[in-house]
Structure 1
Amino acid sequence: MSLKDQLSQLVYSTDQGRIEPEQQQETIPESDGFIKIRRETKGRKGKGVTCLSGFGLSETELKALSKEMKKLCGVGGSVKDYVIEIQGDQRDKLENWLQQKGYKTKRIGG
């Protein structure tokens, strides 16, 4: 085999175009009608966060709701696995705000 034959072998081709990854359907966890409010410190070096779950909303709707909550409390937060995490112990403030919005709430844990 000559050097020219070795260099002319097809290594990569774009004939088929881009391969699109398969889109998975978003599976939203079911809600039992109650928003669970709890305080967590595990895995956060002692810093507490308020976790809210059980909304039964999509990821984008949860992000919009968490934005309102963060603005209300004046703190940061995030949405992870359909759970809204708000920095600090904001249980009282968020529970009152959610009840005004028409949600039923339950406190989980101490």
Structure 2
Amino acid sequence: MWSIGVILYILLGGYPPFAQRNQRDLCQKINAGEYEFHKEYWNGVSKEAKVLISSLLTIYPRRRLSARDALENSWIRQGDDTLVGKDLAVNLAELRKFNAKRKFRAAVRAI
């Protein structure tokens, strides 16, 4: 369920919830469950969607939403028309930019 939270974060925000320059810092952020909903990317995302993501990214497995509970979440149960007005082009652009940075860093490390 945690992975679903990460994927949902990426799909709605356009970038991963945990991103650091080195592996050690990345692991620390993940283990601490430290992430943010940056306003410039998350302003158009509903509170219900953010609550769902937060409930899935809970670091304590026993407190994390189960699959059954996630399916009962108000955001999931809303009609399809709630996403119709959302322009995901910005998210796609941010995801491409993040991927380009990741590839560039990998290329530099390979040299």
Bin of the TM-score, shorter chain as denominator length: under 0.3
TM-score scaled by length of structure 1 = 0.26
The answer to which structure has the higher strand fraction is 1
Higher relative contact order (CA 8 A, sep 6+): 2
TM-score scaled by length of structure 2 = 0.26
Tell me which structure has the larger Cα radius of gyration.
Answer: 1
